[in-house]
Chain A
Amino acid sequence: MAPTGLFDRATKGQTTTPVDVEVERGRIRFFAGVLGETDPIYTSLAAARAKGYPDLVAPPSFFMVLEAMADQALALIGQPSSSQLVRCDFNHLLHGDEHYDYSGPVFAGDTLTLTTTVVDFYDKKGGALEFVTLSSMASHAKRGVLIRATRNLLHRLG
């Protein structure tokens, strides 16, 4: 019997509604602090500017924060986040992998536009594991696409 799984596979090819998020200094400092970042470009405006940056720099995995902010922005306009779109079930959900391609840095004060596209669904272990591949972009109006993200999420079933 073909596995049915929990994801809504009819969403393949769909893209979330584009939303804008603002990168805040305080959030960068908080995030960098929890991760134990030691480079002051994430926490000290003076250190960031001394290196020629216009403001605090976002750490490499700050995309996660951007996405969470985008999900909140989507909720405010009554639109589904990517995890809602594909119907993630947090009782079974695991993170398979995450990958970022960086075209340029993200700074505090940036407004970025985020979208996520449902790329594909697939199964492993006879349907005991079902996966979704999501592809996201964070773009700046003048500097273009800054981060391309790819993620595989999975439901562990049975």
Chain B
Amino acid sequence: MSQIHPADARPGDTLPDLCFGPITRTTLALYAGASGDHNPIHIDLDFAKAAGLPDVFAHGMLSFGVLAQVATRWCGAERLRGFGARFVSITQVHDRITCAGRVTERFERDGETLLRVALVATAQDGRQTLTGHALVAAS
């Protein structure tokens, strides 16, 4: 697919989607180990049931780390000035997530041209799981 360079990007331009999953329990165990977030609600079914939940659920930060790549695979890590997201719904085990990005703004800050990229992660049933944005240097 033809890719727009950040230097030429304008509001409305879309970035290539990024898909991951289905999210397995192995992935959650590995993310817990790699990130150091050992909250048992993501990896220990006994703990989740004792907390009144039917199952463990995915770390929001796992999707967060993939969502950031919609921006960085497009612009390169060195252009990323900011990144953030809200966790708008819980990501369940076995969810398949599609991450998408769209340029919403092009503006100047401290002598640098920046792009604001709206980012969204959506599960296979259309449920939004994360909404966020990245600030990317255009040149």
Contact = CB atoms under 8 A, between A and B. Distances in A.
A34 B66 CA distance: 10
A105 B78 contact: yes
A60 interface: yes
Tell me the interface secondary structure of chain B in the complex. Answer: helix
Interface residues of A, number: 38
A39 B84 contact: no
B34 interface: yes
A92 B39 CA distance: 11
A93 B39 contact: yes
Contact of B34 (A65, A69, A90): A65
A95 B61 contact: yes
A95 B78 contact: no
B66 A97 contact: no
A102 B31 contact: no
A101 B81 contact: yes
A122 B115 CA distance: 32
B84 A60 contact: no
Nearest to B53: A91
Interface residues of B, number: 37
Contacts of A38: 69, 73
Interface in A82-116: 90-102, 105
Interface of A: 27, 30-31, 33-39, 41, 51, 57, 59-61, 64-65, 67-69, 71-72, 90-102, 105, 150
Interface of B: 20, 27, 30-31, 33-41, 50-51, 60-62, 64-66, 68-69, 72-73, 76-78, 80-87, 90
28 contacts: A31-B34, A34-B35, A34-B62, A35-B31, A35-B62, A35-B65, A35-B69, A39-B72, A39-B76, A59-B72, A60-B68, A60-B72, A60-B80, A64-B35, A64-B37, A65-B35, A67-B36, A68-B36, A72-B36, A93-B41, A94-B90, A95-B87, A97-B84, A97-B85, A97-B87, A98-B85, A102-B80, A150-B84
